[in-house]
Amino acid sequence: MAPPPILLLQDITLTIGGKPLLEGAELSVGPGERTCLVGRNGSGKSTLLKIAAGLIEKDGGTRFFQPDATVRYLPQEPDLSGFATVLEYVEAGLGPSDESYRCQYLLHELGMTGQEDPAHLSGGEARRAALARVLAPEPDLIFLDEPTNHLDLPAIEWLETELASLRSAMVLISHDRRFLQNLSRTTVWLDRGRTRKLDRGFGEFEAWRDKLLEEEEIQRHKLDRLIVNEEHWVRHGVSARRKRNMGRMARLSDLRSERREARNSVGDVKISVSEGRTSGKLVLEAEGVSKSYGDRAIVKDFSLRLLRGDRLGIVGQNGAGKTTLLNLMTGVLAPDSGTVRLGSNLEMATLDQSRKTLKPEWSLKDALTNSGGDYVEINGEKKHVIGYMKDFLFTPEQARTPISRLSGGERGRLMLARAMSLPSNFLVLDEPTNDLDLETLDLLQEMITDYKGTVIVVSHDRDFLDRVATSVIVAEGDGKWIEYAGGYSDMVNQRGQGVSAVGSLPQKAKSPAKTERTNTAPKKEKLSFKHKHALETLPGRIAEMQQKRDLLMAKLAEPGLYERDRVGFDKNSALLAEAEKKIAAWEEEWLELEVMREELEG
């Protein structure tokens, strides 16, 4: 018998500004369950998560939460005001029986000391502090709203590992495909106010969603044909019958009402790029380029040759100098030494992550036309700005909306719309995936893949880089940048590890053949806090997982289970395979740490 859920939402309704946002949404989370909540920007995901966390009151429906369960919620914009230090803010999230050592441990792992002043944190630092506060108590249920926002690749990959090791149940909202694929076991799709559940992880969601939408379109087509048939009868029925069949008339009225009230699927972004002249074969050539700020080398002796049609990705931890390298390559910034030569006939369009080119007082229409009328020119053809706005999911009513009132996702789409409207053969995109939903990301990827010009893109999105990049440049530390063929996963295979954290870059760069998870632990003077903690806790986690495995094996051994409950058999088989995998990985990790400890003790 399955344990009762920690959280249960049923038939949740909510209306905002006279418009229904949630209409019968549901969510159920059991112990240890990992659910991702997906849907278009503006579909109400964050609102539903806040209702689940008890932060927003619903209009209707029921919310049940186990009285003795603990819950923590990570907001998109954490508020650290009122605390003298980051450590004080993190410790304030602990319960009476929670261990305070985890606060310092998590902050250390996230690259913080705990003594930082909350009033002077960057967006990324505030997000790291909020993550430490949420994870420190190891609660029964964690709500995470865009946990990877403002995080660099090392922090994202560390967060994945940390969340995977927790026994907490969790509900995730994220636009990072790889993050969702690696962590989720259940997917809830919020679409047009209602939820639909898939008892599988995000990796299988998109095929399932596309199938549902295809079936929905078939049903809509059948309804349309039925209405046509009924209308034909009304107009051309047997002329001798003066009285209409009132039943059929009522049926036609019902069909029309059903079709009118049916909420069609949310529109798709239509991204098309205004392509300029064909550039020369050589787009960019850098030789021996170096740039330093004071004693710190940002770029050292860097060389690159970029040809027409190349799609180059740039990755590295925050502060590595990705934007500086980008500005050097595009001629925005002069190098201290070396040369950068740009090719002929280049028409460059840029998208900067800071969005400084957007003036808050501009209206949406002004931003797209540069205050120059009512039309946007795409590939030599004029298109009315309202039609162009609709391509990027803006409504006609938003034409005069000030940019200051747009959401982060809307500003991201606006920046894309501006960049795509400029004639270009060289696209320079600095963090283009920020705040974009999954469907918009799909179309951006297709656009970049089909683009006949050259593309440079800076991104922390691993899946995005795998789909679009033909080569990737990685920060190796101390101003050194190296190019690898292929996407992000290809780079990891060649380099032997992903993007390193700030403090370990120089050392890790010396041994490129080392894998992300080595079989022989590196020698250190003493075990780190993290290693000591893992060495102490792994045996208990292994024993607990072995008990779970034995229970699953007992269930699968029940006579006639396969014939009686095929779905249950398949589900338990998958859980058994996952348990075996975890046991093997944890045993291997414990053995590595034990060998390390013995070596250090001589």
What residue spans define the domains of the chain? 7-206, 207-261, 282-509, 529-600
Consecutive 10-residue averages of pLDDT for the chain (602 residues)? 87 89 94 93 89 94 93 92 94 90 92 92 89 95 92 90 93 94 95 93 91 80 65 52 53 57 54 67 93 91 93 90 91 93 87 67 83 74 84 82 77 78 84 79 82 90 91 92 92 83 41 36 52 78 84 81 79 82 80 74 62
DSSP 504: G
Helix (H) or strand (E) holding 439: helix 438-450
- Residue 553, φ and ψ in degrees, nearest 5: -65, -35
Q: What's the pLDDT at 48?
A: 95
Token pair, residue 158, equals: 């560390």
DSSP 403: G
Q: Is 414 in contact with 358 (CB distance < 8 Å)?
A: yes
Domains 7-206 and 529-600 share a fold: no
Pairing of strands 7-16, 60-65: antiparallel
Question: Could you tell me the CATH superfamily of domain 282-509?
Answer: P-loop containing nucleotide triphosphate hydrolases (3.40.50.300)
CATH fold of 7-206:
Rossmann fold (3.40.50)
SS (H, E, C) 536-575: HHHHHHHHHHHHHHHHHHHHHCCCCHHHHCHHHHHHHHHH
Token pair, residue 163, equals: 């969340």
Token pair, residue 548, equals: 């779970």
Of 29, 38, 39, 24, residue with least CA distance to 3: 29
For the chain, state the CA radius of gyration.
28
Q: What span, in angstroms and rounded, lies between the C-alpha atoms of 164 and 181?
A: 12
Is pTM beyond 0.75 here?
no
Adjacent-strand bridge partners of 475? 481
Pairing of strands 34-38, 60-65: unpaired
Q: What span, in angstroms and rounded, lies between the C-alpha atoms of 448 and 29?
A: 38
Q: What's the pLDDT at 542?
A: 85
218 residue type, one letter? I
CATH fold of 529-600:
Helix Hairpins (1.10.287)
